Structure 1
Amino acid sequence: MNYAYAYVLDTMADWELGFVTAELNSGQYFKRRGSRIPVKTVGASKRPITTKGGMKILPDLTVDEISHETSAILLLPGADSWNDPEHAPVVEKAKQLLKASGNVAAICGATTALANAGLLDDRQHTSNSLEYLTMFCPAYKGAAFYKEKKIVADGNLITTGSAGGLLLAREVIALLDLFKKDTLEAWYNYFNTGDGNYFAAMMETLQESNSTEKK
């Protein structure tokens, strides 16, 4: 079985991975009904971490337990503590996964960790802003590949800024090919606008899938 590995660290932004972890773990709108991608929390150690919202999370695994063979994607959230050297192993793991065609998604502060490690020097990417990366990442040399977009998917790497939690979920779901195209469009539009018509449209796409499977 493949897992979504969500890295957790002190001060992590609780909300940034909420949409994507909920959809991957539940599989509620997957085109393959009854399937899911379980989420495993990963820490620098097995000690509990405290999120920015004050929630305590006990990691399921440590970084060395992640393998390319079992990784559907590595999710890296924003946090104020990415400069702590204890997080170097997960950045190295991200490097290894990307090199082996594994998938990595980074949001907000996690993009600084990738930038400082040189992982954004030759890939199209985005973040909170170019100034944000140049200010906080002294080793960053990827300005020529920076895109003034809310989210950027460059092959198996997805990057976005702090307000990109919903967009991150959409791009991860698309990358892993988990929803029907019209389901994903309706899902995104519903959560982006709150318009109930999109929720109804999404339900219709699921009913169509069920009808097709029964034939």
Structure 2
Amino acid sequence: MTGKTVHLAVYDTYADWETGHTTAHLTQHGHTVKTVAAAADPVTTMGGVRIQPDLTLDDVQPQDSALLILTGASLWDTSDKLAPFARKARAFLEAGVPVAAICGATAGLAREGLLDDRAHTSAVSFYLAATGYKGGEHYREADAVTDDDGLLITAGPTEPVAFAREVFARLGVYEGEKLDAWYRLFHDSDASAFEVLES
């Protein structure tokens, strides 16, 4: 089912730790995660892991996806090589398909103008301000933010668990008490939350 396919952008210097919770739990709950790169060649993450992408950006269309995930990477701030991923995010948002961006990917979206009118967060406000974007008034001091129309999720680099929580809420992976319990277990190490998840 295309509605269950989630596309994960991968590129050199991809920040490994930022989407582990998200992709693992999506896969465990019936979603298929497909990796997407600019080209068909393998990419190497910040942690030195080589990934052979499933698809290229040209292969991916919003109507075939439930969500596009963009992670941080050094390349967001050192070159314009990842700009095509921000442009793909624009296509997703314009088609009404959600996008989730964490860490440096938020700066890429800011440069593309996608945060000018949407509630969002990132590492710190001045990190995004340095991009010259016009969305400063919509910046939120929060671990992770889903904008008002539910299409854009953003988070800073230290919040992979909060990022995952917002994705799960958006895609209906966990809801209500179970969503809260998942977050308490993985963010707060609250062992009592495990029983709620297993019920």
Aligned match of 1:8: 10
Task: Look up the match of 2:159.
Answer: 164
- What whole-Å deviation, never above 9, does each CA across 1:41-85 have from its counterpart, x for those lacking one? 000111111111111111100011111222110000000012533
CA distance in 1 between partners of 2:51 and 2:73 (Å): 14
Distance across 1 between alignment mates of 2:175 and 2:118? 28
> Which stretches in structure 1 are left out of the alignment for 5+ residues?
28-35, 205-215
Q: Which residue identity is paired with 1:45? A: A
Structure 1 residue 45 corresponds to structure 2 residue 47 = no
Q: Work out the CA distance in 2 between the residues paired with 1:92 and 1:195.
A: 39
Secondary structure in structure 2 of the residue aligned to 1:198: helix
Aligned counterpart, 1:207? none
Residue 89 of structure 1: CA displacement? Answer: 2.1
Structure 1 residues 124 and 180, CA gap change in structure 2 (3 angstroms): closer
Inter-partner Cα distance in structure 2 for 1:179 and 1:187: 8
5 Å-filtered alignment, 1:41-80, equals 41-80=35-74
Specify which of 153, 158, 164 is matched with residue 146 of structure 2: 153
Report the equivalent of 1:122.
117
Post-superposition Cα deviations, 1:107-128, rounded to whole Å, max 9, x if no partner, equal: 0000010001111111111111
Structure (1 or 2) with the larger CA radius of gyration: 1
Task: Give secondary structure in 1 for the equivalent of 2:105.
Answer: helix
Q: Is the 8 A contact 1:44 1:86 kept in 2?
A: no
Among all aligned residue pairs of Structure 1 and Structure 2, give the percentage whose two residues are the same amino acid.
Answer: 45
2:184 paired residue number:
189
Unaligned runs of 5+ in 2: none
Aligned position for 1:82: 76
Write the distance in 2 (CA, Å) between the matches of 1:183 and 1:108: 26
User: Could you tell me which residue of structure 2 aligns to residue 24 of structure 1?
Assistant: 26
Amino acid at match of 2:84: P
Q: Distance in 2 between matches of 1:58 and 1:195?
A: 36
Change (3 A) 1:13 1:142: same
| Aligned partner (choices 144, 151, 158) of residue 137 of structure 2 | 144
Bigger mean CA offset, 174-183 vs 122-131: 174-183
Q: How many pairs does the alignment contain? A: 194
Tell me the TM-score normalized by structure 2.
0.93
Alignment partners' CA distance in 1, 2:193 and 2:139: 33
Deviation at 1:104, TM superposition (A): 0.2
Decide whether the 8 Å contact of 1:94 with 1:104 is kept in 2.
Answer: yes
In 2, the alpha carbon distance for the partners of 1:24 and 1:184 equals 13
Deviation at 1:195, TM superposition (A): 2.5
